[in-house]
Chain A
Amino acid sequence: MGNIFLLAITAILLENFVFVKFYGICPFLGVSQKSDTAVGMGLAVTFTMTIASALTWPLYYFVLVPLGIEYLETIAFILLIACLVQFIEMFLQKAIPSLYSALGIYLPLITTNCAVLGVALLNIQQGYNFLESVVYGCCAGLGFLLAIFLLSLIRERFDFADIPKPFRGIPIALIAGGLLALAFSGLRLNF
């Protein structure tokens, strides 16, 4: 149990997926102008990462390993993730239309979000068991949600700030991200 707890804290705070591991930077910069869309994207990513972890783990250990074709890991995972995203989209559209209208536009972007493929590959590389993989997938997603939400809160204030012209847009977002990363790295000194 302690292990799982440490894994969760590590994924969310100490080795934050965005600030330390640099996964999912594209949506982190691209969809963080407004906090409500940022939270929508973060939730969609967390949801997909959790399910992707739960599906890619058995795919690797019950299909690829017995057949001796571990080298197809990348291609198998990305196909599974693409199908998964498509399926989630169709399912949400039919079953929970309100959630679909909130998350719908972010879903196609998630296939090419490297955080999702990244967490699937990391689970295998780090030798996590099934439970650890699912917890890690979920918490890494929550780490992404936290990061994109914090950045969006800062970026909302930029509308009222007199930012030098060349820094407007992505550069100032990167610098704000860097300062957030600095704050997160301070947490590590105590661990």
Chain B
Amino acid sequence: MKKENEKLTVGKIFRDGLLDQNPIFVQLLGMCSTLAISTSVINALGMGGSVTFVLILSNLFISVLRNLIPSKIRIASYIVIIAGFVTVVDMVLQAYIPSLAASLGLFIPLIVVNCIILARAESFASKNKPLPSVLDGLAMGLGFTVALVIISAIRELFGNGTLLGFAVMPEGYSPAVLVISPVGGFLILGALIALVQWFRARKKDKED
């Protein structure tokens, strides 16, 4: 009985992260890095992986320390913890995956101020036990990564004629540079969020 209960919560955490509370498409968090780095699928995977890593560890530590962090300085404490893990990611990427570090550039250190991480710290990790917090970090990170990959696949395919760096469009396809430029980022993200809102509204109508 108890096991089934746990299973349900795990399922809910993942459904929230990937669908119902998807950080990008539903909560509309972390727009800066979403727009900036979604020009190639490789970048999206790198950014998604980095954010997931930071989310899991910051959620874990904030959850473990939640009774030691006075509420008056909690935001400052969260930022210090998050900044620590972000710097670790930055150094590791520079040492072992330099091409990714170069193409993500300043958006790696800027994960510190990515609203997703602070929002999960404040609304989940500070109120829950370590294990669910880690799962929440993983689920939200995956949701962020999946959304990023969808956006970047569209931009890379039409803007560059490639996917993961491999040419997939037929020869003679002339890439629509607009899609990969900042303008395309705004337009495609806007259209995708509208699509998600349309689906959600339709689902809600059916349920009613």
Contact = CB atoms under 8 A, between A and B. Distances in A.
Contacts of A79: 76, 79-80, 83
B109 A117 contact: yes
A14 B170 CA distance: 34
A179 B181 CA distance: 12
Interface in B88-117: 90-91, 106, 109-110, 112-115
A75 interface: yes
Question: Which 5 interchain pairs have the tightest Cβ spacing?
Answer: A178-B186, A174-B190, A166-B198, A22-B36, A171-B194
A165 B197 CA distance: 9
Interface of B: 28-29, 31-33, 35-36, 75-76, 79-80, 83-84, 86-87, 90-91, 106, 109-110, 112-115, 118, 181-187, 189-191, 193-195, 197-198, 201
Contacts, number: 118
Nearest to B91: A71
20 contacts: A19-B182, A21-B36, A22-B33, A23-B32, A29-B28, A71-B87, A74-B83, A78-B79, A114-B110, A114-B114, A118-B106, A167-B197, A171-B191, A171-B194, A174-B190, A178-B184, A178-B190, A179-B183, A181-B182, A185-B181
Interface residues of A, number: 43
A22 B185 CA distance: 10
Interface residue SS majority, chain B: helix
Interface string A27-67: 00100000000000000000000000000000000000000
